[in-house]
């Protein structure tokens, strides 16, 4: 940044629109409402030093300009922050997004159009935030060697009026044998249930035709003008980072939820987080360099299986019921001895902050910040894998009123307030790549998600995508666009997320009730999960009659086999060990409450209890 800069902006109060000004006073009310409903205590519990749900989310952002202007107004503007990151915090509202869209007018983005992510940002002062750090020093040789796809680049000329393309391999849509696609979906006007979606007032049939976005057709469609997206665009080749139409929605949603505190943040679509992680590991890790990925002691098995064949070493950092321990992370990195370890100091952390797979652990706000700070100190880049972020639940209560099932209607603002901040929300360095996925909150078969990271990293990722999957399927983009953009909008999508989390909360409660009722106390113990789909049960191996004679792995195998015999499948804790070559220190089993019906879940836990009792000869 230029040192000729003369203007100092102190970010204190900025968005002076009435909608935002109201936020500060409404947040106190919101926090009271939330605490009545148990959400504030959810956050208190999981974070320790967190005060209230509302206090945790950035509220105000305004600019006090103390410009001592002495050179041209066009001179580079340097932004200084009184103290960071707090003063970089801002928030936008759905109203702000709507106002920006109104100003922008219709999105014109035809076949293979390049999306300009910056043009989808709503916060007016985003350009004045400092830029992300550069990550050239940790890029793999493979990633650094990637060049832009010449054919995709050529598509930028397609928007020139009158241009006749004989250049690319884009087929003409007249040869696409699909005229339109339609789906029946819940509108959210009443409820989001299957019954509501089928009903007159709770559901809608949405459809996309082949030429909906072309002027000629739009003119005849009742004066509403042409659509912004259609099958001729969605089903043709597109840019690997995703269609502008979907990326606009994703960028807005991300700004609403994460409000990244640096200017050059960006987004791109992914073919789900599984593949995104594989691409990310190939951006940041080099087999020849002997690179290591840090993660929790117990980590998502697929992530471990992704790292292993790439020749990436994996180290598990100690954890508790809030996930990774920042002190252990710091100890590991501070004491790193390159010679003794035979590999360079790790520069990459993979973590699942909410409802971690497999342990169900959820990092509170203070925990997240502490992990981030340790990563800053040791210059570690963070991969934040968050498929369960929106499935954050109120605390489990054994003796809740039986009739308390239907949740009171929640506003989208309340919903956002109740969420623990993301790593991206305090990522002043741009050292986080956040992976979002539609899998757990919409449909896994969409094979679609998105990244939030600095422009440099998004660009490297997209270069890779151009030479492998070319981004998500046009069918998926079209279908999800119809739901989240056309039917629900941001407000409706947040309502949907609140609905989904309510459903999973009920499922969790049923599973935990069954555990309380049917598992041998004193042998099986757990922390009630505060997010996600997983319940992690510790079975005290020291109480086993064969303790000391048989290994933990042998006992775990015996219980697993007994479970299968009795008709229940649970996952063995050892499957998720980040370092399977290290001896196990405890015996664990993972159960998911995502799939089975209420009665089947209870029966399954009974069977699991029987298996444990039989092994323990009780």
Ligand X SMILES: *[C@@H]1O[C@H](CO)[C@@H](O)[C@H](O)[C@H]1NC(C)=O
Contacting residues toward ligand X, per CB under 6 A:
179-180, 182, 207, 209
Cβ proximity to ligand X: between 212 and 386 the closer is 212
Cβ proximity to ligand X: between 217 and 310 the closer is 217
Is 300 a binding residue for ligand PLP by CB under 6 A? The answer is yes
Sign of CA dihedral 549, 554, 560, 561: negative
Distance (Å, whole) CA 459 – CA 265: 11
Is 567 a binding residue for ligand PLP by CB under 6 A? The answer is no
Is 390 a binding residue for ligand PLP by CB under 6 A? The answer is no
Cβ proximity to ligand PLP: between 11 and 388 the closer is 388
Q: Which residue has the tokens 């069954």?
A: 514
Among 357, 454, 477, 509, binds ligand PLP (CB under 6 A): 357
**Burial of residue 107 (number of CB atoms within 10 Å: 0-12, 13-18, 19+):** middle
Phi and psi torsions of 37, nearest 5°: -95, 5
Cβ proximity to ligand PLP: between 56 and 449 the closer is 449
In the list ligand X, ligand PLP, none, the entry touching 122 (Cβ below 5 to 8 angstroms by class) is none
Query: Other C-beta atoms within 10 Å of 116: how many?
Result: 13
Residues in region 20-39 near ligand PLP by CB under 6 A: none
In the list ligand PLP, ligand X, none, the entry touching 69 (Cβ below 5 to 8 angstroms by class) is none
In the list ligand PLP, ligand X, none, the entry touching 300 (Cβ below 5 to 8 angstroms by class) is ligand PLP
Paired strand residues for 605: none
Cβ proximity to ligand PLP: between 239 and 273 the closer is 273
Distance (Å, whole) CA 91 – CA 256: 7
Instruction: Give the H or E element holding residue 554.
Output: helix 552-566
Residues in region 439-458 near ligand PLP by CB under 6 A: 439, 444, 449
Stretch touching ligand PLP by CB under 6 A, among 158-166, 243-251, 268-276, 316-324: 268-276
Stretch touching ligand PLP by CB under 6 A, among 75-83, 424-432, 437-445, 570-578: 437-445
The least CB distance from residue 598 to ligand PLP, in Å, is: 22
Cβ proximity to ligand PLP: between 247 and 442 the closer is 442
Is 353 a binding residue for ligand PLP by CB under 6 A? The answer is no
Cβ proximity to ligand X: between 170 and 217 the closer is 217
Q: What is the layout of strands, in order, in the sheet containing 524-525?
A: 524-525, 534-539, 587-592, 571-572
The least CB distance from residue 17 to ligand PLP, in Å, is: 35
Phi and psi torsions of 62, nearest 5°: -145, 160
Cβ proximity to ligand PLP: between 93 and 476 the closer is 476
Q: What is the Cα gyration radius of the chain?
A: 26
The least CB distance from residue 186 to ligand X, in Å, is: 18
Q: Are 400 and 509 in contact (CB under 8 A)?
A: yes
In the list ligand X, ligand PLP, none, the entry touching 209 (Cβ below 5 to 8 angstroms by class) is ligand X
Is 111 a binding residue for ligand PLP by CB under 6 A? The answer is no
- The answer for residues whose C-beta is within 8 angstroms of residue 286's C-beta and 6 or more apart is 140, 141, 142
Among 43, 273, 279, 363, binds ligand PLP (CB under 6 A): 273
3-state secondary structure 17-69: CHHHHHHHHHHHHHHHHHHHCCHHHHHHHHHCCCCCHHHHCCCCCEEEECCCC
In the list ligand X, ligand PLP, none, the entry touching 180 (Cβ below 5 to 8 angstroms by class) is ligand X
**Burial of residue 445 (number of CB atoms within 10 Å: 0-12, 13-18, 19+):** exposed
Cβ proximity to ligand PLP: between 344 and 444 the closer is 444
In the list ligand PLP, ligand X, none, the entry touching 238 (Cβ below 5 to 8 angstroms by class) is none
Q: Which long-range contacts (CB under 8 A, 24 or more apart) does 568-572 make?
A: 568/604, 568/605, 568/607, 568/608, 568/611, 570/608, 571/358
Stretch touching ligand PLP by CB under 6 A, among 141-149, 271-279, 326-334, 467-475: 271-279
3-state secondary structure 272-323: CHHHHHHHHHHHHCCCCCCCEEEEECECCHHHHHHHHHHCCEEEEECEECCE
The least CB distance from residue 485 to ligand X, in Å, is: 17
Stretch touching ligand PLP by CB under 6 A, among 267-275, 308-316, 319-327, 568-576: 267-275
Is 352 a binding residue for ligand PLP by CB under 6 A? The answer is yes
Cβ proximity to ligand X: between 69 and 180 the closer is 180
Cβ proximity to ligand X: between 180 and 582 the closer is 180
In the list ligand PLP, ligand X, none, the entry touching 179 (Cβ below 5 to 8 angstroms by class) is ligand X
Is 437 a binding residue for ligand PLP by CB under 6 A? The answer is yes
Sign of CA dihedral 103, 107, 108, 114: positive
Instruction: Give the H or E element holding residue 350.
Output: strand 348-351
In the list ligand PLP, ligand X, none, the entry touching 439 (Cβ below 5 to 8 angstroms by class) is ligand PLP
Q: Are 241 and 465 in contact (CB under 8 A)?
A: yes
Is 469 a binding residue for ligand PLP by CB under 6 A? The answer is no
Query: Other C-beta atoms within 10 Å of 528: how many?
Result: 19
Is 385 a binding residue for ligand PLP by CB under 6 A? The answer is yes
Cα 237 to Cα 163, 464, 560: the distances in Å are 18, 16, 47
**Burial of residue 613 (number of CB atoms within 10 Å: 0-12, 13-18, 19+):** middle
The least CB distance from residue 207 to ligand X, in Å, is: 4
Is 269 a binding residue for ligand PLP by CB under 6 A? The answer is no
Stretch touching ligand PLP by CB under 6 A, among 32-40, 157-165, 272-280, 484-492: 272-280
Q: Where are the alpha helices (DSSP H) in 383-431?
A: 412-417
Largest CA distance in the chain: 84
Cβ proximity to ligand X: between 291 and 485 the closer is 485
Distance (Å, whole) CA 417 – CA 151: 44
Is 274 a binding residue for ligand PLP by CB under 6 A? The answer is yes
Residues that bind ligand PLP (CB under 6 A): 272-274, 300, 352, 357, 385, 387, 437, 439, 444, 449
């Amino acid at each position: 940044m230029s040192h000729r800069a003369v203007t100092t902006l102190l970010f204190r109060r900025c968005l002076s629109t009435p909608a935002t000004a109201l936020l500060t006073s409404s947040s106190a009310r919101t926090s009271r409402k939330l605490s009545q409903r148990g959400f504030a205590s959810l956050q208190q519990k999981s974070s320790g030093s967190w005060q209230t749900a509302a206090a945790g989310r950035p509220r105000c952002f305004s600019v006090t300009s103390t410009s001592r202007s002495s050179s041209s107004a066009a001179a580079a503007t340097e932004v200084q922050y009184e103290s960071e990151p707090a003063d970089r915090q801002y928030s936008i509202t759905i109203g702000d997004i709507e106002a920006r869209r109104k100003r922008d007018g219709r999105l014109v983005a035809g076949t293979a159009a390049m999306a300009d992510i910056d043009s989808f940002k709503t916060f007016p002062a985003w350009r004045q935030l400092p830029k992300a750090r550069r990550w050239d020093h940790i890029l793999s040789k493979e990633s650094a060697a990637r060049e832009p796809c010449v054919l995709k680049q050529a598509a930028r000329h397609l928007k020139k009026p009158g241009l006749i393309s004989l250049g690319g391999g884009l087929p003409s849509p007249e040869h696409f044998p699909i005229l339109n696609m339609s789906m029946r979906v819940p509108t959210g006007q009443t409820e989001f249930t299957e019954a509501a979606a089928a009903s007159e007032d709770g559901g809608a049939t949405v459809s996309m035709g082949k030429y909906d976005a072309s002027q000629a057709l739009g003119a005849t469609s009742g004066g509403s003008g042409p659509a912004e997206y259609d099958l001729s665009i969605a089903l043709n080749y597109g840019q690997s980072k995703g269609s502008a139409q979907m990326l606009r929605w994703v960028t807005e949603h991300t700004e609403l939820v994460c409000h990244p505190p640096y200017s050059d943040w960006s987004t791109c679509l992914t073919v789900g987080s599984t593949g995104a992680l594989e691409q990310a590991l190939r951006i940041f890790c080099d087999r020849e360099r002997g690179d290591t990925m840090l993660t929790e002691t117990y980590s998502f098995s697929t992530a471990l299986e992704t790292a292993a064949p790439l020749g990436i070493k994996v180290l598990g950092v100690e954890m508790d019921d809030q996930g990774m321990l920042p002190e252990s992370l710091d100890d590991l990195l501070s004491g790193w001895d390159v010679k003794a370890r035979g590999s360079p100091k790790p520069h990459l952390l993979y973590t699942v902050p909410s409802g971690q797979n497999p342990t169900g652990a959820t990092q509170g706000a203070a925990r997240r910040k502490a992990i981030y700070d340790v990563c800053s100190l040791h210059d570690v880049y963070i991969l934040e894998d968050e498929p369960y972020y929106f499935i954050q639940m109120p605390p489990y209560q054994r003796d809740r009123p039986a009739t308390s099932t239907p949740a009171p209607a929640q506003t989208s603002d309340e919903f956002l307030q109740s969420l623990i901040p993301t790593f991206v929300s305090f990522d002043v360095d741009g050292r986080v790549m956040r992976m979002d996925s539609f899998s757990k909150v919409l449909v896994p078969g969409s094979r679609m998600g998105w990244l939030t990271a600095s422009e440099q990293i998004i660009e490297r990722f997209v270069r890779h995508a151009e030479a492998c999957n070319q981004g998500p399927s046009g069918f998926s983009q079209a279908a999800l666009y119809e739901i989240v953009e056309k039917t629900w909008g941001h407000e409706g999508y947040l309502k949907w997320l609140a609905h989904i989390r309510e459903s999973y909360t009920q499922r969790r409660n049923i599973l935990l009730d069954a555990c309380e009722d049917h598992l041998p106390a004193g042998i099986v113990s757990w922390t009630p999960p505060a997010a996600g789909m997983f319940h992690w049960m510790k079975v005290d191996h020291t109480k086993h009659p064969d303790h000391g004679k048989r290994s933990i792995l042998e006992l775990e195998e015996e219980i697993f086999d007994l479970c299968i015999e009795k008709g229940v499948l649970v996952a063995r804790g050892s499957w998720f060990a980040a370092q399977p070559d290290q001896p196990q220190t405890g015996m664990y089993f993972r159960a998911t409450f995502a799939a089975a019906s209420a009665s089947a879940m209870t029966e399954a836990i009974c069977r699991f209890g029987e298996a444990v009792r039989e092994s323990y000869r009780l």
